[in-house]
Amino acid sequence: MITPGMVEAIRTQLNTLRDTILDRERQFATELSLAHEVHRERARNLVHFLAYRDCHIEELEPRLEALGLDPLRDVEWNVLQRTNNVLWRLNEMSGMAGTSPGFDDHSDQPSGREMLRKRTDALFGPPPARRDARIMVTLPAESADDPDIIKSYLDAGADCFRINCARDNPEIWKRCIDRIPRTGMDGTHPKIFMDLGGSKLRVSSCAGAKDGIRLERGDTLSVSVNLSPFNSEDEPAGHAIAVSDPSGLREVSPGHHIWFDDGKIGGIVKKVGAHAIEVEVTYVRKGARRLRRERGVNLPDTMLRLPAMTVKDHEDLPFAVRHADFLALSFVRTPSDVDQFRRALLAATEKPPAMVIKIETREALQNIPRLMLAGMRQERVAMLIARGDLAVECGMLEMPRIQRDMLRYCAAASLPLFWATGVLERMSRTGEATRAEVTDAAYAGHAQCVMLNKGPGTGDALSFLGTLLERGNESI
């Protein structure tokens, strides 16, 4: 039973929320003032949502519902207006109508959902006839010389094509792009998404082996902190590798986790020496695996101090801004990384492609709100959640929460979201999907664009995903 004392407690919590919202606005005043004018109100709402989350008032939902009031579900779309409306109704029920302190809630602004739809359409063009979410597919290098690949993807429903600048070269990219029709019968065209490689540690050389080193659980792996890579003829005691930028290892400490090859090999740092880091291998998928050159290295416990953009990124940028509709920089971690990327885009062209902020590290995850606010200084901006890298960095058990949080942050800011990595992965490889994959793919439809990776079954996966997303629309 709801008592007068409980009603007063609810009112106190909601007033505390409003006070926290105002305090948070003051704390973020500089970032809000720098937001592009088209984003300013939604940036403000994002800050309000941060305040809501910090107040931890989710337990109010059943109490508000019992009183016949708005339970504040999906509050991220318009935090302040929803809070004001509930307070006004609560005061009215208590005979205190008109006592709610009034301040400008900008309720005349378009709704968050409507703003997100408009921004998505502005970046992608009109949506397909029977679904809202677009589908992006990563192009294989073979599509540069095989015209049937891109045509088959288009026939299967692809709306956007991804070119990974960490692979191949501008000559291959250009041949791929030349095969993408730039104008359709309705005046629209498939979009081109390019991502710069960014600062990611990779295995640069393996001692004593041209084709990599075989590792098993319990092995000791030496990771060189020197600039000089190993030659295949080097034969140090035990297993040893060098990495692409040893400066990224400066903050590594004993006890830190280290992962290789997208989480297929993992270990614990046991010792940090002057010339090498000693790692105990604690996990190897399928018992034994070969660690090869160019495989990625993840250090989820370590604050990496790497430049946001590499020399190669700066070399690839002029090509990318000429051809891409969306351009992402991989492995941004801090707002200053986003600022550096934004300035590089503006210096390269007067009309830059839409800037995409990729969330793929634990540090980026912790900095999401400020990364988004830094991105909102640019008029055309979107977000991307790289679920594969995040699963390695944060662990599989954290992924449901991370995905849900990412959707809510993007709803608060009305920023389009690319949902990347692992969608219908088995089907892209084999042409057959698992039940778990289908459920996962249906959830991906909450984002504005879903990415499929390349594979022999990608055409089947495209058709299947398009139908699945259409049915998702019908059920909403």
Domain housing 465: 114-199+307-475
Token output for 199? 């600062």
Q: Do 368 and 286 share a structural domain?
A: no
Element holding 425 (H helix, E strand)? helix 425-430
Q: Do 461 and 332 share a structural domain?
A: yes
Question: Given its phi and psi angles, is residue 54 left (phi above 0), alpha (psi -120 to 50 degrees) or beta?
Answer: alpha
Could you tell me which of 11, 14, 5, 1 has the C-alpha nearest to residue 66? 1
What Cα–Cα distance (Å) separates residue 439 from each residue in 145, 159, 172, 173, 403?
A: 35, 22, 35, 33, 14
Q: Do 439 and 321 share a structural domain?
A: yes
Strand-pairing partners, residue 277, are 223, 272
Q: Where are the beta strands (DSSP E) in 292-351?
A: 297-298, 326-329
Sheet hosting strand 265-272, strand order edge to edge: 203-206, 239-243, 220-224, 276-284, 265-272, 257-260, 297-298
Query: What is the pLDDT at residue 304?
Result: 85
Backbone phi, psi, residue 352, to 5°: -70, 155
Q: Do 237 and 264 share a structural domain?
A: yes
278 vs 252: CA distance, rounded Å: 11
Query: What is the pLDDT at residue 476?
Result: 39
Which amino acid, residue 466?
A: G
CATH code (residue 148): 3.20.20.60
Q: Do 461 and 399 share a structural domain?
A: yes
Query: What is the pLDDT at residue 230?
Result: 58
Longest dimension (CA), the chain: 85
Q: How many domains does the chain have?
A: 3
Q: Which residue has the tokens 């730039």?
A: 182
Q: Which residue has the tokens 């979410």?
A: 133
Q: Do 236 and 321 share a structural domain?
A: no
196 vs 217: CA distance, rounded Å: 34
Q: Do 214 and 153 share a structural domain?
A: no
Query: What is the pLDDT at residue 234?
Result: 46
Q: Which runs of consecutive H residues, i.e. helices, occur in 190-334? A: 311-323
**Contact call for residues 341 and 317 (beta carbons, < 8 A):** no
Q: Which of 234, 263, 298 is the last residue of a domain?
A: 298
Query: What is the pLDDT at residue 301?
Result: 92
Q: Do 414 and 343 share a structural domain?
A: yes
Q: Do 104 and 39 share a structural domain?
A: yes
Torsion of the alpha carbons at 168, 172, 178 and 179, rounded to the nearest 10: -80
Instruction: Note the pTM of the prediction, 2 decimals.
Output: 0.91
The sign of the CA dihedral 166, 168, 171, 175 is: negative
Q: Do 357 and 454 share a structural domain?
A: yes
Q: Which of 298, 331, 363 is the last residue of a domain?
A: 298
Query: What is the pLDDT at residue 101?
Result: 54
Q: What is the pLDDT along the chain (476 residues), one digit of tens a residue?
A: 667 777 888 888 899 999 999 999 999 999 999 999 999 999 999 999 999 999 888 788 888 888 888 889 899 999 999 999 998 888 887 776 555 555 455 555 678 999 999 999 999 999 998 899 999 999 999 999 998 999 999 999 999 999 999 889 999 999 999 999 976 555 568 999 999 999 889 998 888 777 789 999 999 999 998 766 655 444 454 689 999 888 888 899 999 999 999 899 999 999 999 889 999 999 999 889 999 988 999 999 998 888 899 999 999 999 999 999 999 999 999 999 999 999 999 999 999 999 999 999 999 999 999 999 999 999 999 999 999 999 999 999 999 999 999 999 999 999 999 999 999 999 999 989 999 999 999 999 999 999 999 889 999 999 999 999 998 755 43
Q: Which of 298, 317, 340 is the last residue of a domain?
A: 298
Q: Do 452 and 399 share a structural domain?
A: yes
Q: Do 329 and 432 share a structural domain?
A: yes
